[in-house]
Structure 1
């Protein structure tokens, strides 16, 4: 979905059409418990997702007589999002409340980081995943991701939102500590993708991914500061294959011209088709990330974009 305004409007007006074209009505059944997994932003960050997008998604789910809840999990590091009690306050200050969203807002795992241990013997790095309790209980998981670059991954989008974003602190620790490859971050890729695969293929959760390519910053929303976007707004993508969704998002970013004054200034990344990642994060292995994801049983890097 293009960000340009035309006779159908802009992203806000086209979003319901995107959900329809992506097959939301075929995915969700009346009574389904639907986890809308997103990120509520770190204090100090101002380019996190606008609340109107989960509001519109929740409205669409309720029209289908589903039972949605909007959710995220606590983080590993020292942050106001390290405990559920504090994270609720962060979400509220950023405009995310149950009253605004029209459904429960739940920090999955609750005050005690409760989770269910899921055996995943086929995992490359992790043979057991701690899936936070409310996400484990959901019939459907919808990844609603604000796409950014990332310090440790080529892109922060659907795969990372599922892989690291749906698990408990013990599993997050194991992902960050993964070793045994050169360069080391390949092991972290494998561990994070294990998390996504354990949920999507291991638990066989019904899935839809929505990637917002708006305010595409060089750092993820976990940072307590905000840089200029690296490229102009590119629109919103949706699909049921997280690998194809993230690959398409990455390719659109690469094909775009760089944003004047951004961290790409002075590099080849300012040109359409120029490398957007390595001028900022020179050690990231972009191709290997998608190769690992495409062999994990959760999707394919092949895609076709249908415009709205």
Structure 2
């Protein structure tokens, strides 16, 4: 629950005017986890933001640990190599993630960390701790004012404002809603609070399913707006008071809180870009991102299954600009395969919506220079 005085930031809407540098190095199919870790580190060290890391800086490494049984996620060896390089600068690296909005294996910090450890992201293997940026249930958040098309204010995970630098490692995949899962999704959705995720996915306010409600009162106790009250058969939500924070969804143990997830792909993508803008506020020169076009799957790493890849491995791209990085990723995949992602023909989503909107609000530029490393 959001308690105390709201912390707010005001952000300028400025467009990038110069080409963004995007570095690339190819990956051969038989290269192992340590080889990939080395390539990832080489690329990140090319970015100016890496040289800006100072002694005692808190350096957040954002990535997806993969859901249960997922095999395509970035591996612990990549984190270990990166963390060692950051420690060599006498800074303090750590892994960060947030809880999912939907009910599942990663909807709270306890269960999420269990999966991360099962996938090898232990201190022994990575050399860094995992710190959930949004607390136990995803309700720790900070308000950021952005004055954008869909949001005048967005909610990011509570710890984000305290990071000195953010390094975002993204496993590139297809996505059933956004067309592509890459850098913008990893920071915009991945570092939003539960309320921020809800805002991106939902166009309406919550309601309570009377058949599932046990009238335990937990939702009412945690509601920061005082919008929930008891009724004859179940608790109910006053939409005039509801602020859409998602707290009730987080704390209900009986899946009685329901939302409508009907939202167009274009709107979700634009909201996602707006949240990414809030995440990087005050850190535009301290952001490092890599997109791994390796074991690309039809669906994202949120799928609790091992998916087969849908194209040959291509390599890793790196930039300090999330818009340029994702544009270069889409361009490279299309150039190598003739189409953006495997299911594009049957479900024609346009992943450029998030890039075009991101450019308009000052998240980055789609104009980039590709620099290939030997």
TM-score, structure 1 normalization: 0.86
Partner in structure 1 of residue 229 of structure 2: none
Question: Does structure 2 conserve the Cα–Cα contact (< 8 Å) formed by 1:115 and 1:130?
Answer: no
Partner in structure 2 of residue 241 of structure 1: 321
**Which of 73, 82, 87 is equivalent to 2:107?**
82
Task: Give the Cα–Cα distance (whole angstroms) in 2 for the partners of residues 12 and 243 of structure 1.
Answer: 23
| Equivalent position SS for 1:290 | helix
Question: Does structure 1 conserve the Cα–Cα contact (< 8 Å) formed by 2:333 and 2:339?
Answer: no
Question: Does structure 2 conserve the Cα–Cα contact (< 8 Å) formed by 1:25 and 1:64?
Answer: no
Partner in structure 2 of residue 21 of structure 1: 46
Do the aligned partners of residues 10 and 96 (structure 1) sit closer, same or farther apart at CA in structure 2, a change above 3 Å counting? closer
Structure 2, unpaired ranges of 5+: 1-24, 205-261
Partner in structure 2 of residue 256 of structure 1: 336
Do the aligned partners of residues 204 and 240 (structure 1) sit closer, same or farther apart at CA in structure 2, a change above 3 Å counting? closer
Partner in structure 1 of residue 193 of structure 2: 168
Across the aligned residues of Structure 1 and Structure 2, the Cα RMSD in angstroms comes to 2.3
**Which of 319, 335, 353 is equivalent to 1:288?**
353
| Equivalent position SS for 1:218 | coil
Do the aligned partners of residues 87 and 172 (structure 1) sit closer, same or farther apart at CA in structure 2, a change above 3 Å counting? same
Partner in structure 1 of residue 278 of structure 2: 198
Partner in structure 1 of residue 211 of structure 2: none
Listed one character per residue, the Cα deviations across residues 26-69 of structure 1 (whole Å, up to 9, x for unaligned) are 23122111110101010021221111111111111111111111
Higher relative contact order (Cα pairs below 8 Å, separated by 6+ residues): 2
Task: Give the Cα–Cα distance (whole angstroms) in 2 for the partners of residues 225 and 280 of structure 1.
Answer: 23
Give the C-alpha shift of residue 228 in structure 1.
Answer: 1.8
Task: Give the Cα–Cα distance (whole angstroms) in 2 for the partners of residues 164 and 252 of structure 1.
Answer: 23
Give the C-alpha shift of residue 166 in structure 1.
Answer: 0.4
Task: Give the Cα–Cα distance (whole angstroms) in 1 for the partners of residues 40 and 200 of structure 2.
Answer: 33
| Equivalent position SS for 2:159 | helix
Partner in structure 2 of residue 306 of structure 1: 371
Structure number with the higher strand fraction is 2
Return 93-102 or 287-296, whichever deviates more: 287-296
Task: Give the Cα–Cα distance (whole angstroms) in 1 for the partners of residues 126 and 194 of structure 2.
Answer: 26
Give the C-alpha shift of residue 227 in structure 1.
Answer: 2.5
| Equivalent position SS for 2:369 | coil
Partner in structure 2 of residue 100 of structure 1: 125
TM-score, structure 2 normalization: 0.72
Task: Give the Cα–Cα distance (whole angstroms) in 2 for the partners of residues 249 and 59 of structure 1.
Answer: 27
| Equivalent position SS for 2:103 | coil
| Equivalent position SS for 1:40 | coil
Partner in structure 1 of residue 311 of structure 2: 231
Task: Give the Cα–Cα distance (whole angstroms) in 2 for the partners of residues 119 and 135 of structure 1.
Answer: 11
Structure 1, unpaired ranges of 5+: 258-272
Do the aligned partners of residues 285 and 183 (structure 1) sit closer, same or farther apart at CA in structure 2, a change above 3 Å counting? farther
Do the aligned partners of residues 233 and 132 (structure 1) sit closer, same or farther apart at CA in structure 2, a change above 3 Å counting? same
